Amino acid sequence: MRIAVLGDIHSNHVALEACMRLIEDNDIDGIAFLGDYVSDCPYPSKTMRILRNIPDWYKTWFIRGNREDYLLAHRYSDDGWHYCSQSGSLLYTFEELTSSDLRFFEDMPIGMEVLETGLPPFSICHASMQDNRLLFDHQSPLIDEIMEQQATELMICGHYHVPYIYKTKHKRIINAGSAGMNSTGRPGEASMLIISSEGEKWQAEHMSVPYDVDRVIKEFKTSGMLEKANVWSRASIALLKTGIDYNYKCVMLVQKLIKESGAPFDDEATWQKAAEMLGI
């Protein structure tokens, strides 16, 4: 059996389309999706149309990411989202989605064990099986504790946008990377994973899939998202152009600046200052 694994699409429907073309051209039996399907890139409805049609053609498994949790919570909370650099991307995404899309997210777990007859079980999650917001990589001191908690030999996760494999004598954690917001320093490539087994241990291969990144960047203007989520969208564009996570850099810098100034986290002047300092 051969299973494709995709995570962190972040509304990049162009990258998702490229991944699906590769899947269609190969002998793939099923697809596991690891969450963070939307936000950050324009036209999330295009991503949702693709995703919701895939189960008609492939066996699928869907996991809920932290971005889906933010969108689901927004239905009932007074979180202060408005069109600005801090929350504009999330609000734009929420307003583009349908109630059916949100119910689709709501039905997803944050982790599951995949059990196929005659094949070794494996686990899939967005970040960890217990917490879909926990950020770690293969060098994190948390990773051994997370590995001890996993029930299967193999756990596949996303959330951290750089693919890696971490293994001990008895267990492995594989990060599939990001299909839509790849932070490997290689712009214009989507990251995905293919695992295969004939009843033995799962073999894994990371894949880099080229796509038309300029098409995505143009959509920030045509969609109106660049105006509604200014600095955040500029950071996303910088990431798409360079493969460097400018969104994370921007958040860290804004947090530093507001700690010094006492301004609120959504202070637009602070976000604009951070963008200027980062050259975006």
Q: What is the pLDDT of residues 38-78, one digit of tens each?
A: 999 999 999 999 999 999 999 999 999 999 999 999 999 98
- Any idea of the CA torsion for 72, 74, 75, 80, to the nearest 10 degrees? 180
Query: Is 2-210 in CATH node 3.40.50.1000?
Result: no
Give percent helix, percent strand, percent coil of the chain, each to the nearest 5. 40, 20, 40
Q: Is the pTM of this model over 0.85?
A: yes
For 237-245, what is the mean pLDDT? 98
% pLDDT > 70, the chain: 100
Average pLDDT, the chain: 97
Read off the pLDDT of residues 167-222 as tens digits, 9 standing for 90 and up. 999 999 999 999 999 999 999 999 999 999 998 999 999 999 999 999 999 999 99
pLDDT band of residue 262 (cuts 50, 70, 90) is very high
Q: What is the pLDDT of residues 100-147, one digit of tens each?
A: 999 999 999 999 999 999 999 999 999 999 999 999 999 999 999 999
Q: In the prediction, which pLDDT does 249 show?
A: 98
Domain ranges of the chain: 2-210, 230-278
- Cα 5 to Cα 147: distance, rounded to the nearest angstrom: 19
- Please state, in angstroms and rounded to a whole number, the distance separating the CA atoms of residues 182 and 16: 12
